[in-house]
């Protein structure tokens, strides 16, 4: 079946522009995660959804970052007034569920954001 998909794959924005990054999780996956991966670093957790509920947004770096998943499926990560330090690969991951037992997180290919 289809894996996690993300669009666009590449985005170039001028400093100050707003951007929206989309994630289509694996069908039926309850949990959805966003991570940010800067060049030469490991991914860093941004936020977590269980269905449509955003249960954890502790990793969002500033109030310019906003994520939503209104119908519990597709998610959008929005970055307002982009800055150069926002340049990174934004990875989306989904997993079947979250509970006592860890469920493998499957990653999408990422959106590479470059802010000029």
Enumerate binding residues for another protein (CB under 8 A). Answer: 31, 33, 35, 40-45, 48, 56, 59, 91, 93, 98, 102, 104-105, 107-110
User: Which among 90, 97, 69 has a CA at the least distance from the CA of 11?
Assistant: 90
Shortest spacing between CB 83 and another protein, in angstroms: 22
**In angstroms, rounded to a whole number, what is the distance separating the alpha carbons of residues 40 and 59?**
19
Shortest spacing between CB 60 and another protein, in angstroms: 12
User: What's the CA dihedral at 100, 1, 107, 80 to 10 degrees?
Assistant: -110
In terms of CB distance, is 17 or 56 closer to another protein? 56
In terms of CB distance, is 17 or 59 closer to another protein? 59
In terms of CB distance, is 14 or 42 closer to another protein? 42
**In angstroms, rounded to a whole number, what is the distance separating the alpha carbons of residues 53 and 77?**
14
């Amino acid at each position: 079946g289809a894996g996690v998909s993300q669009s666009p794959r590449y985005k170039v924005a001028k400093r100050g522009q707003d951007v929206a990054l989309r994630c289509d999780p694996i069908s039926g996956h309850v949990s959805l995660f966003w991570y940010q991966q800067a060049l030469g670093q490991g991914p860093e957790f941004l936020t977590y959804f269980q269905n449509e509920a955003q249960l954890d947004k502790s990793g969002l770096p500033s109030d310019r970052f906003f994520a939503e998943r209104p119908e519990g499926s597709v998610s959008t990560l929005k970055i307002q007034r982009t800055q150069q330090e926002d340049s990174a690969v934004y990875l989306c991951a989904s997993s079947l569920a979250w509970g006592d037992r860890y469920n493998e997180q499957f990653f999408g290919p990422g959106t590479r954001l470059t802010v000029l």
